[in-house]
Structure 1
Amino acid sequence: MSQNRDQFRPPNHPNDHFLLTTVVGSYPKPKWLDRARDLHEDEDADFDDDAWNEAKDDAARLITDEHERAGLDVVVDGEMRRNEMVEFFAHRIDGYEFNGPVKVWGHNTFDKPSVVSEVEYDESWLVDEYEFTASVTDKPVKVPITGPYTLANWSFNEAYDDTEALAHDLADLVNEEIEKLVEAGARYVQIDEPALATTPDDHAIVGDCLERIADGIPEDVRIGLHVCYGDYSRIYPEILDFPVDEFDLELANGDYEQLDVFKDPEFTADLALGVVDAHDADVETVPEIKENIQKGLEVVPPEQLTVSPDCGVKLLPREVAYEKMANLVQAAREVEQELDDGEIEVERSAVTADD
């Protein structure tokens, strides 16, 4: 169980029990932000860098406020400044270059980068983003970062002997970025490794990368790992050896069919459980979400449970995303009250990797 979780409990929290509520990262962009990007990219339009930066600031402020209004304990700016989870970082890392878009699914394309020389850290990737978000909210701010394994796996590798060597170097850069974020005040960082679910045999590489990332990071900084939907039995219980406080898992999308995977051996870290489906535009009711939260309590006790959407919600209609967040928070608060009143029987007691 993580020792750095209580810092995110609001000082005026209404219940004795506390289920930490947050989001994974991405959120639907306001339609006018996409229009602003088009104007900025149009050489004939009078929309310069200052205007584009103002638009991104306005969107980040708006979505951070939307998360606050929903009642989330820890907020994110919805990744308003980011276009795609690999492309955004590759543009900021020396050693990457771009050769044009690659088709990924349907009519969607991804500007897949190539690593053409040894990767090096140049300027900070996310400190400005974090400092702005922290300045417009009184809530704690979580910082999602695409993990080194995904940055390596979803790129063309033209410079390293193998993915593992590239991922290790990228992990050192992520460590450097987190150190700068910590200096700026960040206390909650989430490493996103969607590639792990598609190539689970490489969990040892991810573990090595996380050891590099966690090196020297203070214990009061919460490190989470988000792994998208996949066959979790192929990476559990090995992931419990990873040096992270929290595992963020996508289980609502699969109707919790894999929940039992995490019951034996006992889950020793904090569990960030997806309780609303990021891929479904139907808004779950509060009673439905409460049932999902209680599935998490089959795996960990309340003091190890974080409540969040399955994944980033950027593909949902914005009003749907908001309603899901608001219902998620209300459901968490009602479950807390029922725990306080002894109406919910807790199956699990706190267990740590040392037990």
Structure 2
Amino acid sequence: MTIIKEIPFRYDQVGSFLRPDLLKKARVDFQNQTISAAELKAVEDAAIIDLINKQVENGLKAITDGEFRRSWWHLDFLWGLNGVEQTTPEHGYQFNQVETRAASYQITDKVTFNPEHPFFDAFTFLKEHTPEGAIPKATIPSPTLLFNRKSDTFTYASYTDEAVFIDDLAKAYHQTILKFYELGCRYLQLDDTSWGMYTGFIENAKTQDEINHWQQQCEAGVAVVNKLLEGLPEDLTITMHVCRGNYKSDWAIAGPYDHVTTYLAQLNIDGYFLEYDDDRSGGFEPLAQIYKNGPAKKVVLGLVTSKFAALESAANLTSRINEASSYIPLENLCLSPQCGFASTEEGNHLTEDEQWAKVRLVVDTAKEVWQDA
């Protein structure tokens, strides 16, 4: 019988938190060259220590640095890989109602592991300040973000063969994760907007050729993720957050999980964080497919929105968890906010007090539902 890992926890979190005003000011001052990098780091250090304490005080077992050293949930990490360079396009990412700041990347050379990636020092600091009884959690973007494309043509100048690119990407990620493990990481989350994108693109496809293209992208996603996971230590838990966009309380993607669940079920990960805070995600029926592929997987239901301040009803949350358990056993389920509170440094439209009220709601509800919470 396969044992279900304790991680993810019955009450968990996606990773990012609202940046305090002092940190926001320091980042602006650094950009304006009125403070040094060392002075900015000192502000970040103090803010992260305070955040760690608040997470513990509010009952969380998995502790992050809130992504306080990042501007973006994904780009800061991708820019740190060898072969990936920062770019500034004319426009940002178009969400439902808003457009983000303009920032992106380009592949300029062979993608390889960077042993000096700044995220390693960031994790070391987090681990050093996480108290006994809690576990530091690392969050990085999924590699699938680097090969999404709307055309069937593979166009990276430094690669002529997509299979070679996928192999290089998987190797770079595998080595990166092993470095995190060497530094003491035992809980790492891949944040992935690709699967959310595919649900929307397949849902709105006008031709079978479009559907076929996005299904091929799904197959490539399975290939790269499973390849990077090969041979990782057994006591390292890897989860995946399937995100649908999170910028200034706006969203980017809508579509049911039905279109991608077959592919998600093939991923050799330990758990999924799935967004279910509104009707954009469809119903719980696709969870049955994930369970069929292996009872060891957990699904963390993102029923509590991180986008708005209004608190959900604990009774309604419990009812929705019970509904989900019709498709996947209750022992395989957990609860969290649907996303982070600040996937970019701007953050969502709620206060820090409102943020922590959401966290406490998750913790309290989970303790009522699961005896082992």
**TM-score class normalised by the smaller sequence:** 0.7 to 0.9
Task: Determine the structure 1 residue equivalent to 2:252.
Answer: none
In structure 1, distance between residues paired with 2:126 and 2:320: 30
Change in 2 beyond 3 A, CA 1:218/1:3: farther
CA distance in 2, matches of 1:265, 1:67: 30
* Letter of the 1:140 counterpart: I
Percent of pairs with identical residues: 23
Which residue number in structure 1 is paired with residue 367 of structure 2?
333
Summarize the alignment of residues 115-126 of structure 1 with structure 2, pairs less than 5 Å apart: 115-122=107-114, 123-126=116-119
Higher mean displacement: 25-34 or 115-124: 115-124
CA apart distance, 1:171: 2.1
Superposition map of 1:165-314 within 5 A: 165-199=164-198, 201=215, 202-229=217-244, 230-254=255-279, 257-264=282-289, 266-267=291-292, 268=294, 269-314=297-342
State how far apart, in whole Å, the 1-side matches of 2:289 and 2:47 are.
Answer: 43
Give deviations 1:215-246, integer Å, cap 9, x for gaps. Answer: 22111111111112443111123322211011
Query: RMSD of the alignment, in Å?
Result: 2.6
8 Å contact kept, 1:168–1:208: no
CA displacement, residues 238-275 of structure 1 (integer Å, 9 cap, x when unaligned): 32221101111111222763211223574432111112
1:112–1:154 contact (8 Å) kept in structure 2: no
* Pairs within 5 Å for 1:52-201: 52-101=40-89, 102-105=91-94, 106-122=98-114, 123-138=116-131, 139-153=134-148, 157-161=156-160, 165-199=164-198, 201=215
1:20, 1:73 within 8 Å by CA — same for their partners in 2? Answer: no
Quick check: 2:306–2:358 contact (8 Å CA) kept in 1? no
- TM-score when normalising by structure 2: 0.80
SS of alignment partner, residue 273 of structure 1: strand
Task: State the partner residue of 1:348.
Answer: none
Alpha-carbon separation, structure 1, partners of 2:232 and 2:53: 29
What SS class does the counterpart of residue 153 from structure 1 fall into?
coil
Match of 2:257, as an amino acid? Y
Please state whether the residue corresponding to 2:140 is helix, strand or coil.
strand
| Aligned AA (2:180) | L
State the one-letter code of the partner of 1:110.
A
Structure 2, gaps ≥5 residues long: 199-213, 245-254, 343-347
Secondary structure of 1:248's aligned partner: strand
**Change over 3 Å in CA distance of 1:216–1:190 after alignment to 2:** same
Equivalent runs, 1:36-51 vs 2, <5 Å:
36-43=26-33, 45=34, 47-51=35-39
Do the aligned residues in 2 keep the contact of 1:22 with 1:74 (CA within 8 Å)? Answer: yes
Aligned length: 327
Measure, in 1, the Cα distance between the counterparts of 2:77 and 2:188.
15
Secondary structure in 1 matching 2:238 = strand
CA displacement, residues 74-122 of structure 1 (integer Å, 9 cap, x when unaligned): 1212111111133202321121223324322334223111111111222
**Does the C-alpha gap of structure 1 residues 292 and 95 become closer, same or farther in structure 2, counting only changes over 3 Å?**
same
How far apart in 2 are the matches of 1:50 and 1:127? Answer: 17
How far did residue 289 of structure 1 move? 2.7
Does residue 29 of structure 1 match 2:29?
no
Aligned match of 1:344: none
Return the alpha-carbon distance in structure 1 between the equivalents of residues 169 and 273 of structure 2. Answer: 21
Task: Give structure 1 stretches of 5+ with no counterpart.
Answer: 9-18, 341-355
TM-score (norm 1): 0.83
Runs of 4+ in 1 over 6 A off after TM superposition: none
Contact 2:7 2:187 (C-alpha < 8 Å) held by counterparts: no
Contact 1:225 1:246 (8 Å CA) reproduced: yes
Distance in 2, matches of 1:264 and 1:98, equals 38
